[in-house]
Amino acid sequence: MKINSALMSLVLCCCCTSAFAAQSLAGHVLNGTSNKPSAGDQVILLRLGEGMQEESRTTTQADGTFLLRISSPGSAHLVRVIHQGVNYDQKVDAAGRVDVEVFDAVDRVPGLTAKVGMAQVQSQESGLLVTEMYQVVNGSTPPVTQRSLTNFEFSLLPNAALESFQARRRTGIWVNLKPSAIPGKESRYAVDFPIRPGDTLFRFAYRLPYSGIANLKITPAYPLESFAVMHPPAMEFKTQHSADFTSPGMTRGLRLEQLTNRSGLIREIPEFEISGGAPAAITPLTPNRFESSTNQSTPTGTQAATPDSDQALGLVAAGIVFFAAVIFALLRKRAGRQKSAPAMQQSAGSAR
């Protein structure tokens, strides 16, 4: 009888332990700037569904570890770590453990650039819709996060009406942001979305009055490595100097106009004219590379992108992917020409 009682106690103990493990989440937070455990950070468990609901919270220990209570084991969850005022989100996988990397925050990271920029224009009954998108790269060493009220500054034409502004990390969740007007700078706005190490995508859309012709002057927030304009083939694209842009071809039914980069980083984009084009809806494109399975979730204090806006974002992102491929192909072609030129000259000299 004693043996049976001991066996029963052991079984009950194991069952309780298993139940506890199934309803808790262990994790670790590493400071990527110092490469040491991050102690004292707030850790929040968010349940995904209709928005985000906080389920539990805790603080990281001296060794960077944490343990969170899960009250809804069957739901999808997101872990948010707050380090020096910046949120770092990580989806909870099936393994039931989360490792999150955070970085120290600074006011300004020197040398930030945008790897690629894109402006997509489309005529509609309500005017000209312009969508700009930029891929900003933070390659700081050691890696740090730029946190500032003016992390991303942008300009609008005086007669433009801003429709939306969204941002996200390359693998993060699109969030809606409300830009603030910069005092003393007409039609100049800024958002404080943190620029973490790696890639950050910024996208905003605005409308302009359009009677069949418009002149656009785009001012990039950061120096660009490359820039292009996408427009329907029914619309005509003109610049004051024809050599400013080249036209590599079509992508997804849109014509691509590539800015000629003659001096390294692009700091100014020449004004261009767009004309013609019958009013039409934006072509819905959703390339998988820029899709997020968590777009339906709403981070605290923000609103997730709607399916329609995701399609518009996908359209611009598709152009970025194609544009990068075009640039790579052109560079390879140019390198091949340069490599073959000496050989051709040597062959011609031998013939003489």
Q: Which domains does the chain carry?
A: 2-102 (2.60.40.1120), 113-335 (2.60.40)
Separation of alpha carbons 132 and 336, rounded Å: 33
Nearest to 119 by CA among 37, 243, 224: 224
Residue 69 DSSP one-character state: E
Question: Which pLDDT band, with edges at 50, 70 and 90, does 341 fall under?
Answer: very low
Give 100's strand partners.
Answer: 29
3-state secondary structure of 313: helix
Q: Are 164 and 320 in contact (CB under 8 A)?
A: no
Q: Over 90: is that where the pLDDT of 68 sits?
A: yes
Mean predicted confidence (pLDDT) in 332-341? 51
On the 0-12 / 13-18 / 19+ scale of CB atoms within 10 A, 263 is exposed
Q: In this predicted model, what pLDDT tens digit does every residue of 140-170 receive, in sequence order?
A: 999 999 999 999 999 998 899 999 999 998 8
Which two tokens mark 42?
């707030």
Strands 97-102 and 51-59: unpaired
Q: In this predicted model, what pLDDT tens digit does every residue of 194-243 receive, in sequence order?
A: 999 999 999 999 999 999 999 999 999 999 999 999 999 999 999 999 89
Q: What are the residues whose beta carbons fall under 8 Å from the beta carbon of 183, sequence distance 6 or more?
A: none
Q: Are 84 and 74 in contact (CB under 8 A)?
A: no
Q: Over 60: is that where the pLDDT of 310 sits?
A: no
Which pTM was predicted? 0.74
Nearest to 245 by CA among 220, 222, 271: 271
Strands 145-146 and 105-106: parallel
